[in-house]
Amino acid sequence: MVPFSALNALEYCPRRFYYEYVQAEMLVNALVLEGQLLHQRVDQPAVFAEKGVERIHRLYLASERLHIAGYLDALEEEAGKLVPVEYKRGREGHWLNDHIQLCAQALCLEEYLPHLAPLSHGYLFYFGSRRREQVLFLPELRQKTLESIQLALALAREPRPPAPLQGKTARRCRDCSLLPICLPEEVRALQEQQERGNATKSLLEIF
C-alpha cells in the first residue's frame, strides 16, 4: 500500500519518494519538525460539531483496489456533503503534490461511500497563510492522481533510486530533509563526468 504522504513526496521529487518509502530513510530538519509540531492538534482523533458542520479528525482510509492508504487530517460534513481537509505547513506551493494527496484521499472516500460520489472538492489549510485553499476534484486532477499511484508502484519495484532533479526543479533540493543522504549535486557531477567519458570513448571508436 502506498501512503498518501508518499504520493505527495513523489510529486515533489521521485528520488525523495524512493529514499523515504522504498529504502525507509528519514531525516528530520527544522522544516519537518515544524510541520510535525503544527500537526499535533489535528493528529488527535476527535469529533467536533460547530455551526452546522461536523468534523472528524485523524480518519484512516485505505483502498485495496488502488493500493493506497493513510490518514486524512479532517473530514467535514455539511448538508450531507463530505469535504476532506488536509493541513500543511507554510504556504501554497507552485506544484501539485498537496493537491494529489488530497485527491487520493477523496478517491478512497468515494470507494467507501459510493452513494456520495463524486466528491466535488476539498480544502488545503496552510498554517503559513492561515487560509484555506479550495481544491476542485476535476477529471484532470483525478487522472494525474491515478498516474502518480501507478508511478509510485512502479518505482517501488526498481532496484535503485531515480536520478536527482534537473533544471529549475533542482531548486527543491535546497530545503529537502534528505539532502545529506541524496547528495544530488555530487550525483549530478558524477553523471556529467560519466557522460563526458562516454562521449570521449565514442569519438575514439569513430577514429
pLDDT at 47 over 60: yes
pLDDT at 30 over 60: no
End-to-end Cα spacing for the chain: 53
- What's the pTM value of the predicted model, to 2 decimals? 0.84
Helices (H), 123-171: 139-155
Burial of 88 (0-12, 13-18, 19+ CB in 10 A): buried
Residue-level pLDDT at 156: 95
Task: Output the nine-digit C-alpha cell for 21.
Answer: 518509502
Residue 202 in this model has a pLDDT that exceeds 90: no
Task: List, in sequence order, every residue forming a beta bridge with 136; answer none if it has no partner.
Answer: 121
pLDDT at 96 (0 to 100): 93
Q: Are 187 and 163 in contact (CB under 8 A)?
A: yes
Domains and their CATH numbers in the chain: 2-164 (3.90.320.10)
Is the pLDDT confidence value at 28 over 90? no
